[in-house]
Structure 1
C-alpha cells in the first residue's frame, strides 16, 4: 500500500535513518557494510572508467585513435615523450687545484705535530687556519692526541679525486696515510673531513 501523506513518509525516513543508531550492533554493522561498498567502488570505478593518459605497455609513447568524418579507418596518432631522468648525473671532475693540495698537506703537518705536553687547545689552534669552524667544533675537539701515532709528513700529497669544489687528498706520514677532504669556500680551501687512507 503506497504512502500518501507527508507524515507517513517522514516516519518511514526516520525509521530508515534511525536504524543504525538503535544499538551498537546496528551501528557497527552499518559501518562495515558502508566500508565494503566504498572499497568496492574504489576498486571497480577506476577499472570501469579507465585512466586518462595511460601509456601503451608502460613505454614513453601513447597512442590514441580518433575518427574523422569521411575516413573509414581510424587514424592513430602516436606521440613520443622524452625519457624521464630518475637519477642525477654524477658531478663532473675538475683538474686539481694546487692551493687545495697545499692546504691538505699543511693541515696534515699541523695534525701530526703534537709533541709531549701539547694541550688539545694548542693542537686545535694549529689546525684552525686550515679547517672549517663546524668540523673543528664538532669532530676535532673530541680527538685524543695520544692515539695519533704520526709525528710528521713523509712525502708529497696525492690527489685521489677532484671535483669543482672539493678534493680528496692522500698525505703520507710516518704513521698511517691520511685522506683529507678539502672544500673550496669563499675565503679559500678548508678541511672538512679526514680519515685513515686504505
Structure 2
C-alpha cells in the first residue's frame, strides 16, 4: 500500500511538472507572437505613407507602446518628427555660428533657423490637438482633426521655405547640401506623420 502511494505521488509530480512546462511553453509562444503582431501593424500602416521604409524604421521601436492603436501610432510619429526637427534646428544653428560665411549664406541660414523653429512649434500644436482626441469630454473631434492637419501643413510649408530660401542666393554647395539633407529628413518624417493622421478614424 505504501509502495503504491509513493508511485502515485511520483506520477503526480511528473504530471504537474509536464503541465507547468507546457504552460510556460504556451506563454513563451504567445509572448514571441505578440511583438510580431505589433510590428506588423506598424509596417502595414506605414505602407500608406509617402516613405514607407523610413516610416517603419523610425517607428518600429515604438511597437510595444503603440501595439495596434492608430492614434498612438500617430502620436509616436509626431514625437519622432519633433525630435528630428530639434536635431535639425541644432545642426542649422551651428552652421549659422560658423565663421567665414558670406552675407548671403548667413541671411539664408538665419531665415532657415526661424523656419525650423516655427515648424517645431506647429508640430507641437499638432501633438497637443491630437491629445484632445482621446479626451472623454464632449469635444469637437472633427475640429481637432482639422486643426492637426492645418498645423502639419504649416510645418511642411515652413520646412520647404527653409530650402527655398537658398534659391537665387550665392551659397556654397557644402552649406546648401548640409542644410538640405537635414531639412529633407524632417520633411519626410512630417509627410509620413500627416499621411498616418489622414488615415486616422475617430
Instruction: Considering fraction of residues, name the structure with more strand.
Output: 1
Same fold (TM over 0.5): no
* Higher Rg: 1
| Structure ranking higher on relative contact order (CA contacts 8 Å, 6+ apart) | 2
